[in-house]
A and B are shown apart, each in its own frame.
Chain A
Amino acid sequence: MTLLAIYVALLALIWALTAFLSLRIRQRDGFTTRKTVTFGDESAVRPSRVASVASVLVIFLIWGAFTGSAWTFIHAPAEWQMRPIWLPPPENVWHRLISIANDGYRNFTLWEHLSISIWRVLAGFFLGALVGIPLGFAMGLNNFLRGWFDPIVEFMRPVPPLALIPLVIIWFGIDEKAKIILLFLAALWIMAIAARAGVAGVALSKVHAAYSLGASKAQILRHVIVPNALPEIFTGARVAMGVCWGTVVAAELVAAEKGAGFTIMVASRFMQTDIVLMGIILIGIIGYSIDMAMRTAERFLVPWKGRG
């Protein structure tokens, strides 16, 4: 409760401070700055960079202040200090990161733990896309195949991949193959539905135009339907990558001998909270990086997205 009050107080203080300062410093003179109505005009709302930086700093400040960190200049009274077993100070987490990066953890280096998780995600996603995209196209283009696969896809779509972990363990054990199959299943339905939506989204006039220009069915698939579906497929791929990343961590929590999820699961058994925090932060950073990479790829590969 005290913590929340302090957080809100800091937020209000910094807000007031930046508002006061920005009155002094003239904003760049753009069209948006001339708008008089901004409350309710979402396009005029720009994230304040100052606020973002301050937000991150405040989190570290509070974290440090309540854990007796050597990094922060303010400290909470001794009776409010957290014990390291509940919440270690940020520098402990940092030192852990350095030492694990140098010496490894549980027989594997940090890089091996992280890269195996990333490898599992990429392999599972790639296989899922490899099967899911043609499946989605088939469902979008043919009555029989649409009817045949509809019940399967519609049934599997709402099943969370985490619910499949026990079954996958029973059937395939806990080795690499089992994890990749799980991630394949996580990506498969998402990619199939995205590809199907992509086919459904092609404007009939484009297809008609292509037929009138003498294109064959195969040419229409290759030159009209596939490129038209690509933006939709990319959106699906971003979702699928996110889901796969979440699923791999969860699967490693359940059973694994290395991986990002494995690291925090084992650390928590030995009450090594600093390692758990380090793992969570790394998992977050990697997940965010994957999404950013997908967005960048999207900008380069499908620049026509939303311009039809």
Chain B
Amino acid sequence: MADLRIENLSMTFSLPNGSKIEALKDVSLTIGDGEIVSVLGPSGCGKTTLLNILAGFLAPTEGSVRLGDKPVTGPDRSRGMVFQQGALFEWMSVAKNVGFGPRMAGRKRAEIDSRVDALLDTVGLQGFGDKAVYELSGGMQQRVALARCLANDPEVILMDEPLGALDALTREKMQGLVLKLWKDTGKTIVLITHSVEEALLLGERLIVMAPRPGRIHAEYRLPFAEKGVGEDLRAIKRLPEFSARRDEILEMIWEMEEEIMGRSEVAT
């Protein structure tokens, strides 16, 4: 098991009209083995770019990412992804989706089957293996996505707004599930979200990013994820220190948004 080291990462895009966008500028961060880190920020702050670089889908213009002593140069099975939605293979049953990684690796059928059964149990989908994924609700589909990712036993799980498309009630349940999976498997998890509450609940560490250029603006160590495992997340949300943090971060993001608005008004 290994740390995920992000060193002096910069990402600059050129636009067709000749101007340049600095999606990321000099971002450095080390994520320890087994940590759960949430990344928050207004749109355009480069958080999705950062995640894509961690996954290996994008090559940064400067800097590097290393998982342990291996540099990240492309996607591979050491870093699993969970997307917002629509990333399941709808031509496969639920069980085939979950077993996709091991099947591609050429594992034995019996081994895959028992692994898939165990994972469906873990995410609360026992008995749904033969269903088509499009017969499932949005929340259940995300459970399948989580199980599919775990089936491959990655070292790091990267989540790109995994609960973003769910309704508030389902979302709350799924937050509990993410915490449970984190505790049970001991995986390193990096989670991107728009929701301040979610970032506070699911991050042992919370990174707030700022836009133009995309950079790390603030960093917090939080007790809520540890406390929240197996607990009622609503009770945690009612803690005074939780609301204090939430207000502080909302204020911070609000100011960033104001600044962007102000700047673009000047520009036009």
Contacts and interface: CB of A to CB of B under 8 A. Distances in A.
10 contacts: A205-B87, A206-B86, A206-B89, A208-B75, A209-B148, A210-B100, A223-B104, A224-B89, A227-B91, A307-B134
Interface residues of A, number: 23
Given A212-B55, A215-B104, A203 B87 contact: yes
Given A205-B86, A209-B81, A210-B100, 9 more contacts: A209-B145, A209-B148, A210-B104, A212-B75, A212-B80, A213-B101, A303-B132, A307-B132, A308-B86
A223 B75 contact: no
A228 interface: yes
Interface string A199-234: 000010110111111111001000110011010000
B258 interface: no
A302 B132 CA distance: 12
Contact of B148 (A213, A303, A307): A213
A228 B89 CA distance: 8
Interface string A266-291: 00000000000000000000000000
A304 B132 CA distance: 8
Contact of B86 (A203, A216, A230): A203
A274 B57 CA distance: 67
Contacts, number: 79
Contacts of A209: 81, 83, 87-88, 145, 148
B77 A212 contact: yes
Nearest to A203: B86
A227 B148 CA distance: 19
Contacts of A224: 89
Interface of B: 55-57, 74-77, 79-81, 83-84, 86-91, 100-101, 104-105, 132, 134, 145, 148-149, 152, 154, 158
B152 A213 contact: yes
A228 B88 CA distance: 11
A227 B56 CA distance: 25
A303 B92 CA distance: 11
A260 to B, nearest CB: 37
A299 to B, nearest CB: 14
Given A212-B79, A213-B152, A307-B134, A227 B89 contact: yes
B89 A212 contact: no
Nearest to A307: B134
Given A208-B57, A223-B100, A304-B134, A214 B86 contact: no
A165 B77 CA distance: 54
A211 B90 contact: no
A227 B74 CA distance: 24
Contact of B77 (A203, A206, A214): A214
B89 A211 contact: no
Nearest to A209: B87
Contacts of A307: 90, 132, 134
A300 B97 CA distance: 20
Contacts of B100: 210, 213, 215, 223
Contact of B104 (A208, A216, A227): A216
Contacts of B74: 211
Contacts of A212: 55, 75-77, 79-81, 149, 154, 158
A95 B75 CA distance: 70
A230 B134 CA distance: 17
Name, among B74, B86, B89, B154, the residue most crowded by chain A CB atoms within 10 Å (CB to CB): B89
A206 B87 contact: yes
A209 B56 CA distance: 12
Contacts of B75: 208, 211-212
Contacts of B104: 210, 213-216, 219, 223
A213 B87 contact: no
A213 B56 CA distance: 12
A308 B132 CA distance: 11
B158 to A, nearest CB: 8
Interface in A163-205: 203, 205
Contacts of A228: 91
A293 B91 CA distance: 22
Closest 4 CB pairs of A and B: A214-B77, A307-B134, A211-B75, A213-B101
